[in-house]
Amino acid sequence: MRPYKISGFKRSFGLIFIAAAVVAVGSVWYWNLITERLAQDARVSIVAGSRELALDFDRLLGAQLQVLASIGVSLEQSPLLQQPARLTEYLNRQNKRNVFTLTGFQFTDGKALFSNGAVLRHFLSKAEVEEAFEHSRYVSERKKNPFDDSAMLVFAIPLRRDGKRLGVVFGVQAVDAYETALAGATLPDGGLSFIIKPDGNVVMGYPQVAYQNIFNLGTQARFDGDLSAEKLHQDMQNGRSGLTGYTLNGSHRFSSYYPLGYNGWYALSVLPTASMAEKAQSLMLMSLVLCFSIIGVLGILLIFILRMQYQNSRALFRLGFVDPLTGADNLNAFRLKFPKAADAFRARGVPFALTVINVNSFKAVNDIYGFEVGDQILRQVAQALQGALEEGELFCRSGADVFLLLLACPDRAQLERRVDRLALQAGRFCRAGGEDCLPMSLTCGMYLVDEEVPFYIMMDRANLAWAAAKQRAGRTCAFYDEADRRQIVTEKRIESSMDQALEKGEFQLYLQPKCDFKTGKIKSAEALVRWKHPVRGLIPPDSFIPVFEKNGFVLKLDQFILQQTAALLKQWKEQGLEQVPVGVNFSRLHLDDPHFIDTLVQTVDRAGVEHRLLEVELTESVVFGHVERMKQVIDGLHEKGFSVAMDDFGSGYSSLNVLKNLYFDCVKFDKEFLASGEGNPRMRQIIAGAVKMIKELSCSIVAEGVETQEQADFLSGIGCDLAQGYFFSKPLPAAEFTQRLEKNQSRA
């Protein structure tokens, strides 16, 4: 199981990649769009450029002709034409005011007077003069200035008087002077502007180029689409404007042409697309830089978000699947991993067991040594258990001091030995430093998974096995079996109904006589509880007292039996019967109650019963390990006048030595202990010896479980004082016992 999904990362980077791809495709599209747009713009501006250039030139040429026309008007009726010297002077004056470099007049005989005083013959050819008269104006081609060899244009206006030709007024303008106008119309970024003739010869251009015929150039050019030099030529022949695109010397250009109103000239604008591409490229570059910066920023943002997500998911994972104390898996992780691990065992054909391990009395360790030591112990136990895992096995800490394991179980006995060993190892706790070892005991419950049941049922079964192991003293682990389950179910049923049973009076007092061996007369009695269950009938105390001892309810029940006993004693007194002492059983749990004796006194006193009539029966197992407390209690009871009996002597650990230190008034021999003497002479000797020694401590002896005459004979023979057993009487309901007591006494 991973704390987070790598695929999340992959997906996000996939997204970034897709975004980059989209941007790349978008850029290509954008590039095309921009190029197309710029080309469009270029076409529009170049068309506008040539048109404007044409119009500007038309205006300019028109204005210059106008200047000549007004000179013409003033000369038409003037006598100056007959006075060459004055005419020259006049022309000179005019020339100073106008834009021409030279102003002049050419007579019909071909004599031309110039404002600078020069006189030339046929400055304008006959044909030129003819054209001027024909069109009432004349603009020359590019010509060589006869005075300084510079390039010039000549403008002329014809002059008539009374229908008779007088000559032409002309103006000379240097071609250079038009460069300003051309420059003004020139497009930026390497654009060119020309005034050309329809045959392609360049009249003027800017920037200055090696003047040649553009159709000569056109033959080297490769025209776009269906355009051609031919079409351009035709257009110009027919005075049409147009736009053409071509590639020359490896670079593409657009050129636009627009007719002027003079000489069939054309304004021609040329724009190399390379400059446009550069513009597009720089625009594109800017856009791309922008796009990729955005992607970069988004990427960084994404990485940041993913990092946060990763950290969050790790934190969540830790929260959900890791036990913070030991760093091991927690129950959630275990449950998630369990099905796969179980399947793997099944596939390998290896049986497996769900195992619950619990640290015994862990709460006490926490109370006595503090949580720090408690935590240290848990960590150590976890480490030991986890370290012992074999391939395919699982481990987790499922609760405070509870650990869960999935273990291979090739063989029950083998697993039991393994878990025993493991528990021993895991429980060997030493605090840091090495000294001060505190051995912990562990209890394990195992469920050999033999059925496909839900996980919680497996857990239930392992827990039941654990509870069974806990019950059986000296056992570390137990396997789940059906008997355990039934036992525990019964216990649960008992627990769930005990309080109600007490309230409803289902617990009843029975009394068993303790009799004189010889006469059989009732000398005293023992109070014994019975549960008259409405459904299950009479339940013997052995089935419920151990349960009540576990859950503490026995304290209430003993108190109830004590009250009943005291009431019965009171009743006997009232009936005028001779009261016999009654022994009441008290669980070892009362020893922990500091008010035990006080409560006892109160109860007995409330019924007005003499203390000597109550005998407190304490089982010998209580004595073991609690001699001091026992001594205190016995002394306390004696102080109040109660007598104390040691119950079940010989059933367990009791030693005669203990008896020397504890002043019991009576010792009750356990029926199993006595039964062990049956047909065993050596055991009989031991019993007899024990009786003798106890008698020396001035204790009386009650023999329990006397069932036969022989037993009675033997026991009375070795010196036992009283007999309690079926041979004399079974335990009787209180009323029946009272009747027996009456009979007993009346017989006497």
Question: Interface residues with ligand C2E (CB under 6 A)?
Answer: 512, 528-529, 540-542, 545, 554, 558, 561, 585-587, 647-648, 671, 704-707, 724-726, 731
Task: Identify which of residues 383 and 651 has a Cβ nearer to Ca ion in the complex.
Answer: 651
Among ligand C2E, Ca ion, none, residue 484 binds (CB under 5-8 Å by kind): none
The correct pick among 128, 558, 617, 721 for binding Ca ion (CB under 5 A) is 617
Provide the minimum distance between the beta carbon of 593 and ligand C2E in the complex, in angstroms, as a whole number: 13
For every residue of 348-413, which 3-state class applies, written as one string?
A: HCCCEEEEEEEECCHHHHHHHHCHHHHHHHHHHHHHHHHHCCCCCCEEEEEECCEEEEEEECCCHH
Among Ca ion, ligand C2E, none, residue 88 binds (CB under 5-8 Å by kind): none
For every residue of 136-202, which 3-state class applies, written as one string?
A: CCEECCCEECCCCCCEEEEEEEEEEECCEEEEEEEEEEEHHHHHHHHHHHCCCCCCEEEEECCCCEE
The Cα–Cα gap between 40 and 48 comes to: 12
Provide the minimum distance between the beta carbon of 508 and ligand C2E in the complex, in angstroms, as a whole number: 10
Provide the minimum distance between the beta carbon of 592 and ligand C2E in the complex, in angstroms, as a whole number: 14
Among ligand C2E, Ca ion, none, residue 244 binds (CB under 5-8 Å by kind): none
Spell 132-159 as b/e; 16+ CB within 10 A means b.
Answer: bbeeebbbbebbebeeeeeebbbbbbbb
Provide the minimum distance between the beta carbon of 623 and Ca ion in the complex, in angstroms, as a whole number: 14
Q: What residue type is assigned to position 158 of the chain?
A: P
Provide the minimum distance between the beta carbon of 684 and ligand C2E in the complex, in angstroms, as a whole number: 18
Contact 266, 196 (CB under 8 A): yes
- 88-117 footprint of Ca ion as x/- string (CB under 5 A): ------------------------------
Task: Identify which of residues 106 and 564 has a Cβ nearer to ligand C2E in the complex.
Answer: 564
Cβ neighbors of 465 (< 8 A, separation 6 or more) are 356, 445, 446, 447, 477, 478, 479, 480, 481, 484
The Cα–Cα gap between 649 and 697 comes to: 15
Task: Identify which of residues 445 and 725 has a Cβ nearer to ligand C2E in the complex.
Answer: 725
Among ligand C2E, Ca ion, none, residue 445 binds (CB under 5-8 Å by kind): none
- Chain CA centroid to CA 273, Å: 57
Task: Identify which of residues 329 and 704 has a Cβ nearer to Ca ion in the complex.
Answer: 704
Cβ neighbors of 100 (< 8 A, separation 6 or more) are 64, 67, 155, 171, 172, 173
- 355-394 footprint of Ca ion as x/- string (CB under 5 A): ----------------------------------------
Among ligand C2E, Ca ion, none, residue 545 binds (CB under 5-8 Å by kind): ligand C2E
Considering only residues 680 to 739 of the shown chain, the ones binding Ca ion according to CB under 5 A are: 704
Provide the minimum distance between the beta carbon of 608 and ligand C2E in the complex, in angstroms, as a whole number: 22
Q: Which stretch binds Ca ion (CB under 5 A): 138-146, 220-228, 251-259, 613-621?
A: 613-621
The Cα–Cα gap between 39 and 121 comes to: 53
The correct pick among 128, 235, 401, 647 for binding Ca ion (CB under 5 A) is 647
Q: What residue type is assigned to position 233 of the chain?
A: H
Task: Identify which of residues 359 and 618 has a Cβ nearer to ligand C2E in the complex.
Answer: 618
Contact 403, 444 (CB under 8 A): no
Task: Identify which of residues 451 and 542 has a Cβ nearer to ligand C2E in the complex.
Answer: 542
Cβ neighbors of 554 (< 8 A, separation 6 or more) are 545, 548, 587, 589
Among Ca ion, ligand C2E, none, residue 726 binds (CB under 5-8 Å by kind): ligand C2E
Task: Identify which of residues 243 and 614 has a Cβ nearer to Ca ion in the complex.
Answer: 614
Provide the minimum distance between the beta carbon of 706 and Ca ion in the complex, in angstroms, as a whole number: 12
For residue 207, cis peptide bond before it (omega within 30 degrees of 0): yes
The Cα–Cα gap between 95 and 115 comes to: 6
Q: What residue type is assigned to position 573 of the chain?
A: K
The Cα–Cα gap between 282 and 294 comes to: 18
Task: Identify which of residues 143 and 532 has a Cβ nearer to ligand C2E in the complex.
Answer: 532
Coil, strand, or helix at residue 617? strand
Cβ neighbors of 728 (< 8 A, separation 6 or more) are 513, 515, 520, 706
Q: Which stretch binds Ca ion (CB under 5 A): 282-290, 550-558, 615-623, 715-723?
A: 615-623
Which residues are paired to 527 by β-bridges? 511, 584
Q: Which stretch binds Ca ion (CB under 5 A): 47-55, 149-157, 439-447, 641-649?
A: 641-649
Considering only residues 561 to 600 of the shown chain, the ones binding Ca ion according to CB under 5 A are: 585
Q: What residue type is assigned to position 741 of the chain?
A: L
Around 583, how many Cα atoms within 13 Å sit in the side-chain half-sphere? Answer: 25
Among Ca ion, ligand C2E, none, residue 94 binds (CB under 5-8 Å by kind): none
Task: Identify which of residues 374 and 541 has a Cβ nearer to ligand C2E in the complex.
Answer: 541
The answer to whether 648 contacts Ca ion (rule: CB under 5 A) is yes
DSSP state of 588: G
Task: Identify which of residues 302 and 589 has a Cβ nearer to ligand C2E in the complex.
Answer: 589
Q: Site residues (CB under 5 A) for Ca ion?
A: 585, 617, 647-648, 704
